[in-house]
Structure 1
């Protein structure tokens, strides 16, 4: 393998491995896990993956589970989530980590580009370990004792469910299954042990045990840390590209600038 670090803080592109070849994937599995832990998001080009091959590759990073988000599952594989858009509202053109409203959010994700626009539709990632490191020791200590509430009902996501089912049954089922939950404001990463700022503007609704004004200010400040360019990497998709990212240590933003060109992605969540 050949590894190109794309920025000092985050992101590496890896060359010289065929992800559809089980033997190659297993041969490099330990190295790929180590690179992901260090670099937080890794990229591959010119891959040809069936849904089965994508799931098999994702499994080297952890356990996979059937789709449990507000997007539909692939008709041939319940572990593959379909992200299909034409540059219209998806709810992902905002800095966020995936599914932080679940008791155990995905530890990572594997995203495969099936069909992408000629230009536009990039995705950006930001390191939330770098964000924590930027804070003063006094602020770090203060935040460690706080907890925040996360809720899945972001406007664009609820609208997505209603479009898929005009009866409202999917929306009502999701509300019943996924009540708002609490997460630590500062998460200790289960693999690296590094502290991570775990607040995002899509799903974090308020912070416990502070005033409403303090909660709004803290959420705005902490979620805004993802916007610092020095902690970001931006990836231009081409057909056959793959990204694997650490969902606990990063936030990401799907740039929504390609309407009316189609964009079809396959995602597998890693637990």
Structure 2
């Protein structure tokens, strides 16, 4: 059976119906979801209650899964991390970022499941990196071509916030040891579609390697601002049991932290990708 795919923004985003994500995917639905992800970059599903095992199985159809070095996870399903405002310092999510871009092989994508959401607030925005790249002037595109940038875990996960106790410090130091800073192209080519997109983000990108610090910082500020203009974005208002599935190679996102002291709990399964080029 064909899925119903309804675009919700010109730049990116579509709502998908006609599939039960808690069940194993048929080959046909797998192919349709993969194509929809390439076409729309982020997919949204309503009323899809997922247990951690089902969420991990769904994500694993699209690649190997990542275990996050900092965030807690579901004990019986460690590939599913927990984002809970009563357990985590989530300020690093309240800025534009591309998940785990500090890895040598950053995430292909992620499946995010809403477990508890406030009655209002707590929306998430996604921005299309390809739409943002397309919106640049040709001279700026030529300037960026061939440049690389450093991505560092410590920018979003500083020691002052994530290494307070002895146990946290031990885990933090191990995370830094296993995840040293990585360099990636400023302009990334999508490995399937061939589309170019900006691959720098406020959450993890610290510098442009080939430029002096003053020039590099100015270019990064420009790109951070340009890439998140409203015309390149889509905004999702969460309901309990919603699921979002996005292509992390060609998007970035921002979880709005405007709902405290209300509680918000999300589960995320992150799919590993390949080295950007």
Task: Give the TM-score, by structure 1 length.
Answer: 0.94
> Aligned pair count?
269
Shift of 1:101: 0.7
User: What is the aligned partner in structure 1 of residue 31 from structure 2?
Assistant: 30
1:161–1:213 Cα change, 3 Å: same
When the two chains are superposed, the root-mean-square deviation of aligned CA atoms in Å is: 1.8
Helix, strand or coil for the counterpart of 1:154? helix
Distance 1:139 1:189 in 2: 20
Distance (Å, rounded) in 2 between the aligned partners of 1:172 and 1:79: 21
Q: CA deviation at 1:175?
A: 2.1
Mapped partners of 2:166, 2:227: distance in 1: 33
Q: Which residue of 1 aligns with 2:146?
A: 145
Shift of the 165–241 alpha-carbon distance from structure 1 to 2, 3 Å rule, reads farther
Residues 90 and 160 in structure 1, CA contact (< 8 A), matched pair in contact too: no
Unaligned runs of 5+ in 2: 273-277
In the other structure, the counterpart of 2:84 is 84
Extract unaligned runs of 5+ from structure 1. Answer: none
CA shift for structure 1 position 168: 1.4
Structure 2 match to 1:183: 184
Moved more, 5-14 or 151-160: 151-160
Contact 1:93 1:254 in 2 (8 A): yes
Q: Deviations over 1:29-69 (max 9, x none)?
A: 1011000011000000001211111111112222223x134
Q: Equivalent of 2:16, from 11, 14, 17?
A: 14
Cα displacement (A) at 1:201:
1.2
Q: Distance in 2 between matches of 1:7 and 1:155?
A: 29
User: Equivalents in 2 of 1:83, 1:69: separation in Å?
Assistant: 13
2:75 maps to what in 1? 75
- Return the TM-score normalized by structure 2: 0.92
